[in-house]
């Protein structure tokens, strides 16, 4: 077979031989003793032109193209395998295309921490514990304490941090008290702090609780209904001029309390609630009272719907939640074993139960006696006198000559003195030197509001009634 008819199936023989028409100049080897190697990559070979050899028949060229197509897949697989990570790095070749890997994305290590500390004195330790530099923590502490002030109380701290462990930086600090007041500190480029003062942001909510008396006690019924423990005593005091909770209130009687509570932007309660409305409905009578600060007064009082004060000369019951175990009148004494006048009313309650001053007055005696035990005597402005027997202790500051206000705690129930068989308060009322029945004496009526004071009260009464009727009440 002639040379021009013997086409080799070896692809290496398909290249144009040097010296033939269209052949490239011969390659010259260049010594590269320190050639730089590049990381493995896919090598893209530029297409090389294929020219027909002079005198080659057309069918031979067609055959060569067919073989190229058949072997293209194997060649591509070979090249791909050569670009695998396990392949030997290639030496840089002049004119070879380069592939530049993109830089890795910047990683920003940012975090936010929310902490609550007991007071301004704990700010420094808290900031230092976040991992920021000591000088930055000290500067932030000074700026925060200057903004929030030295007053004690919880502080909520929201700290924005950036950077990896060991190189943390603070970018923002929000330090606020429970009422929403405080400051937001931001870090400037020079490391100083910009401060934005936050004003107190409190709202007032009115909550209403309704319940029924049970067979145990008013205290138990009130707690079951949802009245806050701190409001039970003010509730009983407000109605103590009209009701004796030991004798006038019975299971099934309905009561209601409305109180105001301040709330911060996080929905948390701030401070103690304030009782603004009380009511009790029994088979015999009902009473609804509104809390109102009358013009010229320093303390708020309780008024009925028409603006009449319920505060009379004396409180009918000087102790909360007690039951009457012995009334006023002649009786056979359980300890002395003879019949004599029982000159007061006995209210049984646990030892330590607070005892209140039935009216404003001056302490004339606070000393123990044989039968009455620790006894307290108050002289009131209208000339009346009240006496309190068997106290377990006197309230702090109670001694002769001290003036007390109506409803102020003056002592606690006990069992002192030999004329007692259990813990209780023996309560007496003396008028013009005579003992009278504390449960039946006419204590008079409270004063009535008028003029601008009455108009202001009606506005307050209507506000409370609207809140009580709101669908958010429970």
pLDDT in tens, 128-155: 888 888 888 888 888 888 878 888 888 8
Sheet architecture: strand order including 254-263: 203-212, 254-263, 269-281, 286-292, 301-303
Rounded mean pLDDT, 231-242 = 85
Rounded to whole angstroms, the Cα distance separating 84 from 10 reads 26
| pLDDT for the residue 259 | 94
| pLDDT for the residue 47 | 52
The sign one gets for the Cα dihedral 260, 266, 268, 269 is negative
pLDDT tens-place string over residues 110-124 = 788 888 888 888 888
pLDDT tens-place string over residues 427-455 = 999 999 899 988 888 777 678 899 999 99
Confidence of residue 84 (pLDDT cuts 50, 70, 90): very low
> Which residue segments constitute the domains of the chain, with CATH numbers given?
110-198 (3.10.450.350), 203-303 (3.10.450.350), 323-436 (2.70.70.10)
Rounded mean pLDDT, 164-187 = 83
| pLDDT for the residue 333 | 63
**Total-model pTM:** 0.54
| pLDDT for the residue 72 | 52
> Three-state SS across the chain?
CCHHHCCCCCHHHHCCCCCCCCCCCCCCCCCCCCCCECCCCCCCCCCCCCCCCCCCCHHHHHHHHHHHHHHHHHHHHHHHHHCCCCCCCCECCCCCCCCCCCCCCCCCCEEEEEEEECCHHHHHHHHHCCCECHHHHHHHHHHHHHHHCCCCCCEEEEEEEECCCCCEEEEEEEEEECCCCEEEEEECCCCCEEEEEECCCCEEEEEEEEEECCCCCHHHHHHHHCCCHHHHHHHHHHHCCCCCCCCCCCCCCEEEEEEEEEECCCCCEEEEEEEEEEEEECCCCEEEEEEECCCCCCCCEEECCCCEECCCCCCCCCCCCCEEEECCEEEECCCCCCEEEECCEEEECCCCCEEECCCCEEEEEEEEECCCEEEEEEEECCCCEEEEEEEEEECCCCCCCCEECCCCEEEEEECCCCCCCCCEEEEEEEECCEEECCCCCCCCCCCECCHHHHHHHHHHHHHHHHHHHCCCCC
| pLDDT for the residue 371 | 86
Rounded mean pLDDT, 296-312 = 87
**Which letter, b or e, does each residue of 263-273 get, where b requires 16 or more Cβ atoms within 10 Å of its Cβ?**
bbeeeeebeeb
Cα distances (Å, whole numbers) of residue 71 to 75, 103, 143, 309, 310: 6, 38, 76, 110, 110
pLDDT tens-place string over residues 22-78 = 555 554 444 444 544 455 544 444 555 544 444 445 544 444 544 444 445 444 444
Segment among 5-9, 185-189, 328-332, 367-371 with least mean pLDDT: 5-9
| pLDDT for the residue 129 | 84
């Amino acid at each position: 077979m002639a040379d021009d008819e013997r086409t080799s199936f070896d692809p290496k023989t398909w290249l144009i031989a040097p010296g033939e028409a269209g052949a490239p100049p011969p390659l010259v080897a260049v010594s590269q003793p320190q050639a730089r190697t590049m990381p493995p990559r896919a090598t893209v070979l530029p297409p090389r032109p294929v020219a027909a050899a002079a005198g080659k028949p057309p069918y031979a060229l067609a055959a060569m193209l067919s073989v190229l197509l058949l072997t293209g897949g194997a060649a591509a697989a070979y090249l791909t395998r050569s670009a695998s990570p396990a392949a030997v790095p290639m030496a840089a070749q002049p004119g070879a295309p380069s592939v530049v890997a993109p830089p890795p994305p910047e990683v920003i290590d940012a975090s936010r921490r929310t902490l609550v500390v007991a007071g301004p004195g704990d700010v420094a330790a808290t900031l230092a514990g976040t991992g920021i530099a000591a000088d930055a923590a000290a500067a932030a502490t000074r700026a925060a304490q200057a903004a929030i002030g030295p007053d004690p109380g919880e502080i909520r701290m929201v700290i924005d941090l950036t950077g990896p462990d060991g190189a943390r930086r603070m970018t923002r600090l929000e330090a606020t008290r429970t009422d929403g007041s405080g400051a937001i500190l931001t870090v400037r480029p020079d490391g100083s702090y910009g401060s934005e003062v936050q004003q107190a942001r409190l709202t007032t909510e009115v909550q209403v609780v309704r319940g029924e008396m049970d067979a145990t006690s008013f205290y138990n019924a009130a707690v079951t209904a949802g009245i806050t423990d701190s409001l039970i005593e003010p509730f009983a005091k407000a109605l103590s001029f009209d009701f004796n909770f030991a004798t006038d209130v019975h299971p099934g009687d309905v009561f209601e309390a409305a109180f105001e509570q301040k709330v911060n932007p996080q929905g948390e309660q701030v401070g103690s609630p304030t009782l603004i409305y009380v009511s009790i409905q029994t088979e015999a009578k009902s009473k609804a009272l509104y809390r109102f600060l009358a013009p010229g007064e320093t303390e708020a009082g309780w008024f009925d719907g028409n603006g009449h004060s319920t505060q009379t000369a004396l409180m009918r019951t000087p102790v909360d939640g007690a039951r009457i175990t012995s009334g006023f009148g002649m009786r056979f004494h359980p300890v002395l074993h003879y019949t004599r006048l029982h000159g007061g009313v006995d209210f049984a309650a646990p030892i330590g139960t607070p005892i209140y001053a039935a009216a404003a007055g001056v302490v004339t005696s606070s000393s123990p006696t044989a039968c009455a035990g620790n006894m307290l005597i108050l002289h009131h402005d209208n000339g009346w006198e009240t006496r309190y027997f068997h106290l377990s202790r006197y309230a702090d500051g109670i001694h002769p000559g001290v003036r007390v206000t109506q409803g102020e705690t003056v002592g606690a129930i006990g069992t002192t003195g030999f004329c007692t068989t259990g813990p209780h308060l023996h309560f007496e009322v003396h008028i013009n030197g005579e003992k009278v029945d504390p449960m039946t004496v006419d204590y008079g009526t409270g004063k009535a509001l008028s003029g601008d004071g009455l108009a202001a009260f009606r506005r307050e009464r209507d506000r409370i009634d609207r809140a009580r009727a709101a669908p958010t009440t429970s």
